[in-house]
Structure formats: structure tokens, C-alpha cells
Amino acid sequence: MRKVHKNPYRSYRKRCAVSSDEVSFRIVVEETDLFVTAAGDFSEILLKAIREWRGEIQAWCAIYPEFRTSLVPLQVPENAPAIVCRMAYGAKLAGVGPFAAVAGTIAEMAANFLQPFSPDVSVENGGDVYIHSTRERVIGILPEPESGQMIGVRVAPEDFPLSFCASSARIGHSLSLGNGDIAVVRARDGAFADAAATALCNMLHEDSDVERAVSRAQQLVALGGLEGVFVQCNDKMAFWGRMELAMAE
């Protein structure tokens, strides 16, 4: 049975530390809700780009409705819009439908769009983040958001650009076929990271599935370049790969 979980609150954003030389701003266009940290307020030019990308997705879905609804990978022609191709490719690597990759794809495209204006830029899109950084960062993940506890992953400057994408059956509005608290994937490609997080979270129904999800994550290293994973279901959690845990501020 499919379940859609909705939570309009993004209180975790209040925990994001902003340096003295950075500013944060928010852009909301329909379902896309971006929290951006950069060297300046580039909301006007980014808003135009977001509207263009979303328009391309909507136009494609109008012609091919299955692109939005499919739970399995779909082939798209090479002349499809770039954002459509990126979503389809990331989903194919993870073995899920294209829309499982939409948030991570937009986060990466937005961060890459702003990077020429700001060497340090972070774009978070509903729990999926893509970051360019010249300094060390601690990326927060949310195993127990209601308790206020925040665990982070320490990332060295030479490891950027990088994506961290999360999927949950209990947090947020995205479709999940599992029952897991959270699956977080670290990867270079935002579309793949988002799709892989969805695929792994779909596997989580009970505590014993945590080990199975980690095993699948290890297989995705060769397929899509997965670098690390954190998964939690009920009282059991595990992490694997390049996941140097630290307490986030």
C-alpha cells in the first residue's frame, strides 16, 4: 500500500549555521522549496532558473504522464531537457521512478548555477542538499528530529562538491514504500543520491532490514558512485562508507 506523508514544517533549517560572510534565502515555487546559503542574495536570478526547470518538467509530464507516476526507471530520448535526462539517469542507476530524483536534481542544478557567483554555496531542497565549499562543513542528518538531536557528517573541503539526500517514510511529503525513519545517501551526483535514498528507504520495513539496506548501498557504489549511507528503522541504525559522524551545531 502506498503512503504519502506530509509535514509542512522544516524546523531543521533553524539549526543551519551561517558564517559571517554568508547569507541565507528561501525560494518556493510550487512543490520546490529551496533553502540557499551563499555569498549573497541571488534569489532573483535563481528564481528565474527554477521556474524554467520546473516548466520543462511539467511540459515533459504533460506529453509523457508516466514520467511523473512511474515507480520504475524510464528511458528518455537524448534530446529531452537536461533536467529530465538527469532525473531519468539517476533513477535508472538506483532502480526507481524518475520523480524519486527530482529534489536532488534541482538542488544540484541550483548549486551549480550559483557556484560561479559564490564559491561556497549550499542548496537544500526538502532534505536533499548539494554543496560547493572551500571549507570544512558538518552536514546535519535527522535520525530523531522530534527529540531535537542532530547528528552530522564531517566533510573536508577537498571532498566537495557533494550531495547528501534523505528519504523517510515518516518525515516529509515524499512517497515511500517502506516504513523506515530515514535513509541518507552521500554521493557526487544529486539525482542519483536522491533516487538511491528513496530506493534504500523503500527497503526498510522492520529493524532487520537495516543490514539489507546497507548491503544494497554497497552494491550501488559501483553502479552510481555512492560514497556513504546512514539508515535507521525503529531503534536500529547503521552507517557505512565515508560517513565521519560528528555532532552538528
| Mean pLDDT of the chain, nearest integer | 88
Res. 18 pLDDT band, cuts 50 70 90? low
Q: What's this model's pTM, rounded to 2 decimal places? A: 0.88
Residue 93 has pLDDT above 70, yes or no: yes
The alpha carbon of residue 243 and the mean position of all alpha carbons in its chain are separated, in whole angstroms, by 16
- The residue ranges of every structural domain in the chain are 12-247
Q: What percentage of the chain reaches a pLDDT higher than 90? A: 75
- pLDDT of 234: 86
Residue 49 has pLDDT above 90, yes or no: yes
Give the residue with greater pLDDT, 168 vs 194. Answer: 194
Q: Give the pLDDT confidence of 150-187 residue by residue, as tens digits.
A: 788 999 999 999 999 999 875 544 544 445 578 999 99
- pLDDT of 150: 76
Q: Give the pLDDT confidence of 1-14 residue by residue, as tens digits.
A: 223 333 444 555 55
Instruction: State the CB neighbour count (10 A cutoff) for residue 175.
Output: 17
Class of domain 12-247 as given by CATH: alpha beta
Report the pLDDT averaged over residues 236-245: 93
Give the residue with greater pLDDT, 170 vs 206. Answer: 206
